[in-house]
Amino acid sequence: MLLQLNIQDFAIVRSLDIDWQKGMTTITGETGAGKSIAIGALGLCLGQRPMSNVVRPNCKKADLAATFDIGKNKLAKKWLTDHDLLHENECILRRVISAEGRSKAYINGGLVPLAQLKEIAQFLINIHGQHDHQLIVKAAEQRNLLDNYANHQDLIGEVKYHHQKWQQLIAEYKKLQNEKISRDARQQLLQYQVIELDEFSLQQGEFETLESDFKRYSNAQDLLNETLSSIHTLAENEQFNIIDNLSRTCDDLNTLSQVDNSLSNIASVLNEALLQIQDASADLKHYYEQLDLDPQAYAEIESRYSQALKLANKHHISPEKVVELHNELSTELASINSDETRLIKVNDEIELAKLNYLNAAQVLSKSRSDSAKKLSKLISKSMNELNMPDGQFFIEVNQEASDSFDKKEQLSGNGLDTVTFLVSINKGQPLEAMNKVASGGELSRISLAMQVILANSVVTPTLIFDEVDVGISGPTAAMVGTKLQQLAKNTQVICVTHLPQVASKGHQQLFVAKLTNGMHTETTMTELNSKNRVKEIARLLAGDKITEFSIANAQELLAS
Q: What is the pLDDT of residues 383-436, one digit of tens each?
A: 888 778 888 999 999 987 655 555 445 688 999 999 999 999 888 889 998 877
First-to-final CA distance of the chain: 26
**CATH 3.40.50.300 intervals, the chain:** 1-124+460-528
Which sign does the torsion angle of CA 479, 483, 488, 491 carry? negative
CATH of domain 1-124+460-528: 3.40.50.300
So what's the pLDDT on residue 218? Answer: 67
So what's the pLDDT on residue 440? Answer: 65
**SS3 (DSSP) at 297:** helix
Q: What is the pLDDT of residues 158-209, one digit of tens each?
A: 999 999 999 999 888 888 777 666 666 676 777 777 788 888 878 887 788 7
Q: Mean pLDDT throughout 129-149?
A: 78
Q: What is the pLDDT of residues 64-101, one digit of tens each?
A: 999 999 998 988 999 999 999 998 899 999 999 998 88
The pTM of the full predicted model, rounded to 2 decimals, is 0.61
Gap between the Cα atoms of 406 and 404, Å rounded: 7
Gap between the Cα atoms of 139 and 415, Å rounded: 14
Contact criterion met (CB below 8 Å) for 176 and 432 = no
| pLDDT over 50 (residue 480) | yes
Please give the order of strands across the beta sheet that includes 392-399: 392-399, 417-424, 432-433
| pLDDT over 70 (residue 104) | yes
How many Cα atoms are found within 13 Å in the side-chain-facing hemisphere of 124?
A: 28
- Which band of pLDDT confidence, cut at 50, 70 and 90, is reported for residue 375? very high
List C-alpha distances in Å: 326 to 137, 185, 199, 330, 333: 66, 19, 11, 6, 11
Q: Mean pLDDT throughout 278-292?
A: 82
Beta strands in 99-196 (DSSP E): 103-107, 110-112, 125-128
Give 515's strand partners. 522
